[in-house]
Amino acid sequence: MDKTIDITLKIWRQHDRKAKGAFETYNLKGISTDSSFLEMLDVLNEQLINEGKEPVVFDHDCREGICGMCSLYINGHPHGPDTAVTTCQLHMRKFHNGDVITIEPWRSAGFPVIRDLMVDRTAFDQIIQAGGYISVNCGGAQDANAVRIPKKDADEAMDSASCIGCGACVAACKNGSAMLFVSAKVSQFALLPQGRVEAARRARAMVAKMDELGFGNCTNTGACAAECPKSVSLSNIARLNREFIKAKLKD
């Protein structure tokens, strides 16, 4: 069962924020198709360390698709060619013997490269700090039927909340727009009664922060949703637009 493949990697190497980066080519032999993409990179780094070279820097944490830490732009797709999975859930069985795999960092003015494949995504934290929370007192845990929420809304809110904040939407967008991320965060609250209280303030503050940090204007190409590892829907963006326009018209 243990099938192995030989591959060639073209990886973006960049020493620090200011340095000019370039692609380096590496050959890897005998990679198990059962290994994950990140395990394959671990093998590469092991090899580099043994050769006395600097290992490739890349972000990763939970390796089970929920933390949003892994990134990588693989062969022209954020999180690689598979759909609706993060890089850590991508497996080498998606590749073939002799493949050349190009691995790049997220490229966007809002996400500057820190080193090699690792980018600075603290801009997303700043957007969340601007309003991606509930500050009103919701009281203690209530009976499930005390606050009645239509099933449809509960489901939509849950789908929006599945955003892990990895930044693939920004990486995929030709405009470097963060609208899918911001709209998912605004939606998960706007759909529920506890979140509605501050809905207008939240939309205003998060969009203002997003603009201030230099993310682009959304032109509705839909590349974000197509590449999102959690399949967050474009309908969130329509909702954010609606919330924002309503808030501004009320001012």
Partner 1 sequence: MWLTNSSIGRKVVMSISGLFLVLFLTFHMCMNIALVFSEDAYNAVCKFLGANWYALVGTLVLAAGFLVHIIYAFWLTLQNLKARGSDRYAVNVRPDTVEWSSQNMLVLGIIVILFLVLHMAQFWFKMQLNEIAGVAPGINPHDGATLVIEVFSCPWMVLLYLVWFFALWFHLTHGFWSAMQTIGINNKIWFNRWKTIGNVFVTIICLGFAFVAIAIYIKYGLMGAGGVC
Residue where the block lists tokens 């820097």: 57
For partner 1, what does the binding mask look like between residues 29 and 58, x meaning CB under 8 A?
------------------------------
Q: Nearest residue by C-beta to ligand HEM?
A: 219
Q: Which is nearer to partner 1, 53 or 242 (CB)?
A: 242
Running DSSP on this structure, what letter comes out for residue 111? B
Nearer to ligand HEM by C-beta: 78 or 216? Answer: 216
CB atoms inside a 10 Å sphere around CB 42: 16
Residues that bind ligand HEM (CB under 6 A): 217, 219-220
Nearest to partner 1 of 162, 241 (CB atom): 241
**By three-state DSSP, how is residue 199 classified?**
helix
Cβ atoms of 216 and 175 within 8 Å: the answer is yes
Nearer to partner 1, 66 or 208 (CB): 208
Q: First and final CA of the chain: distance in angstroms?
A: 65
Q: Residue 87: name the closest of 35, 129, 138, 126 by CA.
A: 35
> Do residues 109 and 176 touch, judged by C-beta distance below 8 A?
yes
Of 97, 158, 211, 231, the one binding partner 1 by CB under 8 A: 211
Residues that bind partner 1 (CB under 8 A): 10, 21, 23, 73, 75-77, 102, 104, 107-110, 113, 172-177, 179, 207-208, 210-211, 214-223, 225-227, 233-235, 237-246, 248, 251
